[in-house]
Structure 1
Amino acid sequence: MSKLIFCQFNIDTACVELVFDDRSQIPIDFTAVENEVADNRFQRSELDYLIYNDPLAYADLILNSKLNVLFE
């Protein structure tokens, strides 16, 4: 199992980028995620807050499918 060593939002690519110790990477396109899951501007602002302030929590939310918890 790879260990996460780096996580940040890259404004140039509009992705939250995860880098693991085996040099593998996972980019999460936040525009695509917002288009699929956010129904209104309030949900989009909640996701935007996480992207800029806690990208690791955002990645955990997306990768572990916890979106129903956020929007209930």
Structure 2
Amino acid sequence: MNKLLSCRYNMDANRVEARFKDGTTLAIDCIAVEDEYGNTPAQRAELDWLLYNKPLEYAQMVLGGEIEHYLSLSCDHGRLEEQ
């Protein structure tokens, strides 16, 4: 994947807009991500927190296929305690 330089959350469009080193841009539909991975209120809250506070990390996890694993670690505390 090309190097991700910057991201910003566009509240009006509910998208994370990413810019890559080669000049390409990409918009991530946050509603689609939330519908796919936000199965619990805690997961939806975590996705919202990421959007507002760490859009670059949000984009990296979505594009890298790591968002589901991240949410399982940060939002499913019962699952962590069982391990």
- TM-score tier after normalising by the smaller chain length: 0.7 to 0.9
Structure 2 distance, partners of 1:14, 1:59, is 13
Written as runs of structure 1 = structure 2, the 5 A alignment for 1:22-61 is 22-61=22-61
Structure 1 stretches of 4+ with a deviation exceeding 6 A read none
DSSP 3-state at the match of 1:71: helix
1:61–1:4 distance in 2 versus 1, CA, 3 Å:
closer
Give the unaligned 5+ runs of structure 1: none
- Bigger radius of gyration, 1 or 2? 2
Give the unaligned 5+ runs of structure 2: 74-83
1:68–1:5 distance in 2 versus 1, CA, 3 Å:
closer
1:12–1:70 distance in 2 versus 1, CA, 3 Å:
same
More helix by share: 2
Aligned length: 72
Q: Which residue of 2 aligns with 1:71?
A: 72
Q: Deviations over 1:9-34 (max 9, x none)?
A: 00111100001243311100111100
TM-score, normalising length: structure 2: 0.75
Q: Which residue of 1 aligns with 2:79?
A: none
Asked whether the 8 Å contact 2:10–2:17 carries over to 1, the reply is: yes
Instruction: Give % identity.
Output: 42
Asked whether the 8 Å contact 2:6–2:56 carries over to 1, the reply is: no
2:28 partner amino acid: I
